[in-house]
Structure 1
Amino acid sequence: MGKNRIPHKSDKKRGKKEITKSIVNFFNSNSADSFSHKQIVEKIGLKKPVEKEIVANVLYNLLEDAFIVETAKGKFKSNNRGLFLEGIFERRSNGKNFFVPDGDAEDSHIFIAERNSEHAMDGDRVKVQMLAKRKGRAPEAEVVEILERKRTTFVGVLDVQKHFAFLVMDSKFLANDIFIPRENLKGGKDGDKALVEVVEWPKKAKNPIGKVIDILGLAGENNTEMNAILAEFGLPYKYPAKVEAAANKIPDAIPEEEIARREDFRNTLTFTIDPRDAKDFDDALSIKHLDNGNWEVGIHIADVTYFVQEGDIIDKEAESRATSIYLVDRTIPMLPERLSNNLCSLRPNEDKLCYSAVIEMDDEANVKNYRILRTIINSDRRFTYEEAQDIIETGEGEYKDEILKLNDLAKRLRAKRFKDGAIAFDRHEVRFEIDEKGKPLSVYFKYAKDSNKLIEEFMLLANRTVAEFIGKVAKNKNPKTFVYRIHDVPNAQKMENLSEFIRRFGYKIKVDGTKTSVSKSINHLLDEVSGKAEENLISTIAIRAMAKATYSTVNIGHYGLAFDYYSHFTSPIRRYPDMMVHRLLTRYMDGGRSASKQLYESKCEHSSDMEQLAASAERASIKYKQVEFMSDKLGQVFDAVISGITEWGLYAEIDENKCEGMISIRDLDDDFYEFDEKNYCLRGRRKKRVYSLGDPITIKVARANLERKQLDFALVE
């Protein structure tokens, strides 16, 4: 058969001219995306090694001719000369502005000179025209229209002159101070920190013109600085009086007819376990030994949506905030205090309304049955994590049998999760001991102990049970619209990078295979690095390789927890998605039709965005306190580890307190250092000295800039 095979026309070797034509046609038909050499070879159907070599040559020529551009190393894209594109404008205070086109997964940054920026601000949605490509130069564009402003408010310090003022900012997103006419000062004085709105930026003017929205206080004061961090991220730093007033009108008493509608758990042993300083107890556990030998565990969650009606003033405010925010020294609640710390908080010896997942399990923690229902409880005891931990460790204390049983069941649930491929990111949290003025006195680390894990396991179980209750349907049926907490599989390229990075420390990891085998390999790595100098560094890079968990109506499961169905049901006092879940449960349990997927998807997106902003503000507040904590330690010497490498220098983290600072490349003056991105290192050109991620070094604290939340270190040889 082989001898008599009819030659296929694709067997004929294709020459350079034909291949060039195919590639040009391919890029003209796919002008929006970037492609690698390998992808191009596949798409135009080449098989022979000699043809693949021709492709490399053709791509080089097309680059030279500026027909295509290289968007990232080894990725090519049509140059789109003269084309109009829409996307996001990125402003930098060093004058290097960039444009990122829509739908470009490769983050191709197109340069926009200041004169061509139309005064677009960072994050604005803009329309640009590609400029004619000059040989040997990167592609450039010009902003032709600002489609949507991302932000118009900025935080800075007022410099007040006789007839006008400026808002002086230390922002990497705006190099120009904001000009403020005297009448727009709103009582602001020289040296005040203020929130200012840009009202216009005339074409010929160097500075935008603004007006003061709010005076945050005197720069440097703790309250001012914490509020400034919130304002910088566009987050609320005070509660609207009219929302507080609406909450204060909600009656305390629970009507008898409401109690009659609910299952009564007031005579079942119930308690809360929370942090020492918590006031908003949104979950409680009950436990009962059943006649059949099994255990009934009630996971009782504050029934916030009984008090907050959909679309009312409190609900609108909660939806807009989407989450409580936890800064170093304060909580900015999602709900008014009357609800979060009083009406909804599951305080001991008070009748409280709950949404409950009541789960029957055997001694091995196998779930035999469950019910989701509205209940009334009366908590017998409020434990702190420390008190519950003490009972777990000593076997002595009030309700010891119940706590020890719950701990045993939790450990079995946890073991099962890890067997199924859950990932154990148990990272320590940086905490500060703070005086009454907000000054940090010391740094300590918070680790999760068995009492924390006990609560965590039952909350995970409730969240999973609720998601399965709605999401798991018969094969030929569509599940109703629901809010899921989803977590995608890790990015393959990031996993490759992680694998390459940890190899230098002598560790290995699986980057492909089944989901479970990859996650088990990540767990093995985290176990191996536990307690070692490089632990924090490797676990940080491993976390960066993971996708971010988000909210969505499209369920893809939760990779990190190894759950096919997962939701957020257990924290409605501090998270709006949990309130959405409670409402959808009520709707469906009452026989209601499926809610609008489109509406809930947009609510999910908003909640995910706000969660990211809140996390960024929390990190900024920790950074601020770290800089403040180190500001009286100038000149002191510490052992540290290199925690980051960039083209502008090294980042180092002090071993004893995890405060991070930067050593500028300018200060590495013994050689000319080059940044090797692939190998996470700086390499000296002459002496070949290498600074790698994870290397131990000795540093001296050189400068502490609170305004920039930045520590500068100097190397000590």
Structure 2
Amino acid sequence: MKRKKERQGNRPLSADELLRFMAEEERPLLWREILRRLGLAREEGIGLRRLLRQLTEEGKLVRIRGNRYGLPTKMNLVVGKLRCHPDGFAFVIPEKEGEDHIFISPRKLGGALHGDRVVARVESMRRKGKEGRVIRVLERSFKKVVGRFARGKHYAYLVPEDERILQEIFIPEGETKRAKAGQIVVAEIVRYPEATERPEGRITHILGYPDDPEIEPQIIIHKYDLPHRFSSAALAQARTLPSIPSPEQYHDRVDLRQIPTFTIDGEKARDFDDAVAIEEDEKGERLLYVSISDVSHYVEEGSPLDQEAFFRGTSVYFPDRAIPMFPPELSNELGCLQPGVDRLTLTVEMRFDEEGEPKGVRFYPSVIRSAKRLTYTAVRKALVDGDEATQRELRPLMPSLEAMARLAEALRARRLARGALDFDLPEPEVILNLQGEAEDVVRAERNLAHQIIEEFMIAANEAVARFLEEAGIPSIYRIHEPPSEESMKEFRRFLSCLGYRMRKTETPSPKGLQKVLEAVRGKKEEKVVNKLLLRSMKWAKYAAENIGHFGLASQAYTHFTSPIRRYPDLMVHRLVKRVLSKRGGRLSPEELAQKADHLSNRERVAMEAEREILDRYRVRLMKDRIREVYDGVISGVTAFGFFVELDDIYVEGLVPMTSLHDDYYRYDEKRYVLIGERTGKTFRIGDPVRVRVERVDVERRRIDFGLITG
């Protein structure tokens, strides 16, 4: 028997201590064995049980038969997320970065569903990788399922709208809410699947029939469980907010109301949370004011509004609506920097020389009065198009706009010189008619006005991150890790197929990738290379530890400029104020890390919901365009066909391999190309083609094209 482990003092056993102890053990242990070997008193057993339960739920320990505990890595077990495929198989994506995915056959899912956090046992190694089985579900990914209601001869069931949920949901009689066959409904899971039993649910909402244009936003809201109704406590607090700030609140604030300040946003924007102003001196130095709505003045930490905002994490934007982080009394009124009214703000005042080099920065609470609400289109007309009517309308602000354009150009040049990546990928914009149906999907414009605001917000965010880092207090950062070696190897191979070379280095640098983007600029493959490089990048996220931002080539970055629609910005505002006022009280790095993880997850959910709603509108648009002909570019090549992105409409569809009748085609995986065995004809990424819309499956969100010429 091993001798008892010695611990310092009588403090409770920590998770790290227990994990280190378990790593030294040669076999899985019972609870009483752990208690005895650690030299714990009997009364400490309750705390040990609680810690074992916590680490088991987190997947850091695994409980096996006989109630023994061990480390997953010592038992050939892997903890990860299950990713199911519509064809029935699945993969476990390990939480530990760098580990290979584990293939799970349909018979070995063990009642787990798509997205579940699971423990899997690796059972074999095949040529294509590891294979295994799910032995335990640690955490279910969803409690509700959206789908089509259907009736069998003696029972009712729900066909999940998400094809990756592989089992139908049985609905007992009395739990159907009188839904009719074919309607889209929401079901709450009351019993999850076992090895031999289907999942069971009860209908909670009837959303309507599939042809209703209003159905798409409702599906997304329920599918992603987006909180779209505010709590009564949050609404009650919002109603107590004043419509305008009182002059008593201006004390200890810098008065910027005499400086020409304005907002620049999109035509449809309603929540204006950033305003800008600029002054130039005779030396050519510029003083830039970035004033951000002081939401933290009205939303006290821990209040109902604060709790609601943290739970949501971010606002979510659909083509026809927004799901805001705050009620309209704050997001569209008191916290909105509307023109002609006084608003409380937090200002970053930055001084730059002619080349855009920073010469000084100040932070302070302020009060502003926006002179005008400008749009990106109006600024473009005035500065780029030279539209005389717009210039006359904006005459008092033209000197400021021209100075801002010069400064933004200098800031952008400095940012690119240090290696920041500038992806030229326009965002899709859905044009809706009065009935809420998609009329068109176009590439959203990105002009000089967008660049002005983008550069100023980046400069402000970097200045705030440096300020908090220098203050030495725990903070929350926006980080972006370098891409993995495997993704860069794949991207390098793809580039070589297009005739480009990329230096092989141990650690990729932003400058090296920037050279690739410059090399393809203006070429037919530019868009595809931009898209594939972006896919090769890791997701940016929030963290308590600053490791820099790879894509921006920035040593310190955070989010500060949008506290109406992003909760991390609200947190950063509070931290800045705490430093400025020299007040005590701070969150621990552990608390910040937990909040950062939650907010990164909420952002990811919002992004996936926004992406899916766009895909749905694209498919609905194309279902009325069967047999229409379009020009496009091959955007991806696979073993089952190739994808084409259309020139005139921002839509992508598949030309299936089975529709190519002029030859037998084989897929060359190493060269990303389809090759005709008889003719030698090839289809590769970037090739122009002409296609016809052949089939649109709204339910599966799939668009099939037929090749006309290419």
Are the counterparts in 2 of residues 483 and 604 from structure 1 also a CA contact under 8 Å?
yes
Question: For 1:226-625, what aligned pairs fall within 5 Å after superposition?
Answer: 226-240=217-231, 242-289=233-280, 294-393=285-384, 394=386, 396=391, 397-398=394-395, 399-472=397-470, 479-512=472-505, 518-591=509-582, 592-625=584-617
Q: Matched residues in 2 for 1:80 and 1:669: separation?
A: 50
Deviation sequence 1:192-242 (CA, Å, 0-9, x none): 212212211464755311012322233222221122123223323444455
Aligned equivalent of 1:701: 693
Q: Which runs of 4+ in 1 moved over 6 A?
A: 79-82, 134-138
Q: Matched residues in 1 for 2:437 and 2:221: separation?
A: 18
Mean Cα deviation higher: 187-196 or 618-627: 187-196
1:102, distance to aligned residue in structure 2 (A): 4.4
Aligned equivalent of 1:105: 98
Q: Matched residues in 2 for 1:700 and 1:312: separation?
A: 56
Secondary structure, aligned partner of 2:174: helix
Q: Matched residues in 2 for 1:462 and 1:698: separation?
A: 46
1:356–1:441 Cα change, 3 Å:
same
Aligned equivalent of 2:63: none
Question: For 1:121-132, what aligned pairs fall within 5 Å after superposition?
Answer: 121-131=113-123
2:406 partner amino acid = D
Secondary structure, aligned partner of 2:381: helix
Q: Matched residues in 1 for 2:529 and 2:128: separation?
A: 38
Asked if residue 691 in structure 1 is aligned to residue 689 in structure 2, the reply is no
Are the counterparts in 1 of residues 525 and 686 from structure 2 also a CA contact under 8 Å?
yes
Q: Matched residues in 2 for 1:139 and 1:215: separation?
A: 42
2:695 partner amino acid = R
Q: Matched residues in 1 for 2:649 and 2:228: separation?
A: 29
Aligned equivalent of 1:660: 652
Q: Matched residues in 2 for 1:137 and 1:105: separation?
A: 16
Aligned equivalent of 2:52: none
Deviation sequence 1:625-673 (CA, Å, 0-9, x none): 2111211221222222221223333222122223111223333455554
- In structure 2, the gaps of 5 or more residues are 1-23, 27-71
1:549 partner amino acid = A
Aligned equivalent of 2:703: 711
1:274 partner amino acid = D
Secondary structure, aligned partner of 1:182: coil
1:172, distance to aligned residue in structure 2 (A): 2.5
Aligned equivalent of 2:87: 94
Mean Cα deviation higher: 143-152 or 548-557: 143-152
1:83–1:384 Cα change, 3 Å:
closer
1:459, distance to aligned residue in structure 2 (A): 0.8
Q: Matched residues in 2 for 1:277 and 1:459: separation?
A: 20
Are the counterparts in 2 of residues 126 and 143 from structure 1 also a CA contact under 8 Å?
yes
Secondary structure, aligned partner of 2:214: helix
Are the counterparts in 1 of residues 100 and 130 from structure 2 also a CA contact under 8 Å?
no
1:597 partner amino acid = P
1:445 partner amino acid = R
2:399 partner amino acid = D
Q: Which of these residues, 635, 642, 650, is aligned with residue 643 of structure 1?
A: 635
Are the counterparts in 2 of residues 641 and 653 from structure 1 also a CA contact under 8 Å?
yes
Q: Matched residues in 2 for 1:545 and 1:165: separation?
A: 44
Are the counterparts in 2 of residues 361 and 369 from structure 1 also a CA contact under 8 Å?
yes
Q: Matched residues in 1 for 2:126 and 2:216: separation?
A: 48
Q: Matched residues in 1 for 2:270 and 2:125: separation?
A: 63
1:173, distance to aligned residue in structure 2 (A): 1.7
Deviation sequence 1:177-203 (CA, Å, 0-9, x none): 211123222343333212212211464
1:521, distance to aligned residue in structure 2 (A): 4.5
Q: Which of these residues, 202, 206, 230, is aligned with residue 211 of structure 1?
A: 202
Aligned equivalent of 2:620: 628
Q: Matched residues in 2 for 1:381 and 1:571: separation?
A: 19
Deviation sequence 1:292-327 (CA, Å, 0-9, x none): 874322100011111111122221121111111122
Deviation sequence 1:28-47 (CA, Å, 0-9, x none): x9x9xxxxxxxxxxxxxxxx
1:601 partner amino acid = A
Deviation sequence 1:142-181 (CA, Å, 0-9, x none): 4333222122321112225797532122432223221112
1:625–1:708 Cα change, 3 Å:
same
Mean Cα deviation higher: 202-211 or 444-453: 202-211
Q: Matched residues in 1 for 2:193 and 2:429: separation?
A: 46
Secondary structure, aligned partner of 1:578: helix
2:176 partner amino acid = L
1:597, distance to aligned residue in structure 2 (A): 0.7
Secondary structure, aligned partner of 1:466: helix
1:103–1:297 Cα change, 3 Å:
closer
Aligned equivalent of 1:169: 160
Secondary structure, aligned partner of 1:622: helix
Residues paired across the two proteins, number: 633
1:111 partner amino acid = I
Q: Matched residues in 2 for 1:80 and 1:521: separation?
A: 37
1:670–1:169 Cα change, 3 Å:
farther
1:98–1:351 Cα change, 3 Å:
same
1:189 partner amino acid = K
Are the counterparts in 1 of residues 544 and 592 from structure 2 also a CA contact under 8 Å?
yes
1:269–1:183 Cα change, 3 Å:
same
Are the counterparts in 2 of residues 674 and 684 from structure 1 also a CA contact under 8 Å?
yes
Mean Cα deviation higher: 505-514 or 315-324: 505-514
Are the counterparts in 2 of residues 555 and 565 from structure 1 also a CA contact under 8 Å?
yes
2:691 partner amino acid = I
2:103 partner amino acid = I
Are the counterparts in 1 of residues 115 and 141 from structure 2 also a CA contact under 8 Å?
yes
Q: Matched residues in 1 for 2:75 and 2:467: separation?
A: 54
1:428 partner amino acid = P
**Structure 1 length-normalised TM:** 0.82
Cα RMSD of the aligned pairs, angstroms, is: 2.9
1:463, distance to aligned residue in structure 2 (A): 0.4
2:144 partner amino acid = T
1:361, distance to aligned residue in structure 2 (A): 2.7
- In structure 1, the gaps of 5 or more residues are 1-28, 32-78, 474-478
1:90, distance to aligned residue in structure 2 (A): 3.3
Q: Matched residues in 1 for 2:250 and 2:544: separation?
A: 32
Aligned equivalent of 1:22: none
Deviation sequence 1:590-634 (CA, Å, 0-9, x none): 322542111111111122222222222222122112111211221
Are the counterparts in 2 of residues 557 and 563 from structure 1 also a CA contact under 8 Å?
yes
Q: Matched residues in 2 for 1:581 and 1:490: separation?
A: 27
Are the counterparts in 1 of residues 91 and 101 from structure 2 also a CA contact under 8 Å?
no
Are the counterparts in 2 of residues 274 and 385 from structure 1 also a CA contact under 8 Å?
yes
1:488, distance to aligned residue in structure 2 (A): 2.2
Q: Matched residues in 1 for 2:371 and 2:678: separation?
A: 71
2:543 partner amino acid = S
Aligned equivalent of 2:4: none
Are the counterparts in 2 of residues 264 and 377 from structure 1 also a CA contact under 8 Å?
yes
Are the counterparts in 2 of residues 179 and 208 from structure 1 also a CA contact under 8 Å?
yes
Secondary structure, aligned partner of 2:297: helix
Q: Matched residues in 2 for 1:659 and 1:228: separation?
A: 21
Secondary structure, aligned partner of 2:258: coil
